[in-house]
Amino acid sequence: MKAPLAGIALAGLALAASGCTSPCQELGDRICNCQPVGSARSACQVDVKNRLSAANPSSSQEDYCSSRLATCPDPGTSWNATSPPPECTLLNSCQGMVNCGLALPQLDGQCGGVAPLPLPDGGA
């Protein structure tokens, strides 16, 4: 799983903000924290910051990010060398993607047309 995850979340939902303490930045950071520590996570964080700084957020977009923060699990910054945090496994489920604003609620057996995220340990 690489930086495109953040691109999907941010471009598809028009998540936008400026500044490092905004709800949209925090949501992007939570999603990036499901990347292994190192270049993948760093690339995701840079992508999130670039996308957020390029956009001019509206208050309704910030409100949307705030609502997603209330339901999106926070994996923190820890990462086990053999497996992702349990919050990342939840994020990979349809309900987890909906909770974090990565997908629409399930329609016709599909999670808003978004495929599960590949996890580094091969899990799905």
Helix (H, G, I), strand (E, B) or coil at 110: strand
User: Is residue 119 in a domain?
Assistant: no
33-43, pLDDT tens digit by residue?
888 888 988 99
Residue 124: inside a domain: no
Domain count, the chain: 1
Calculate mean pLDDT across residues 98-114. 72
Lowest mean pLDDT among 11-15, 20-24, 57-61, 111-115: 11-15
Torsion of CA 87, 29, 47, 103, to 10 degrees: 50
- Would the pTM count as exceeding 0.75? no
The parent domain of residue 42 ranges over 4-99
Is residue 85 domain-resident?
A: yes
Tell me whether residue 12 is in a domain. yes
pLDDT at 43 (0 to 100): 93
Higher pLDDT, 44 or 81: 44
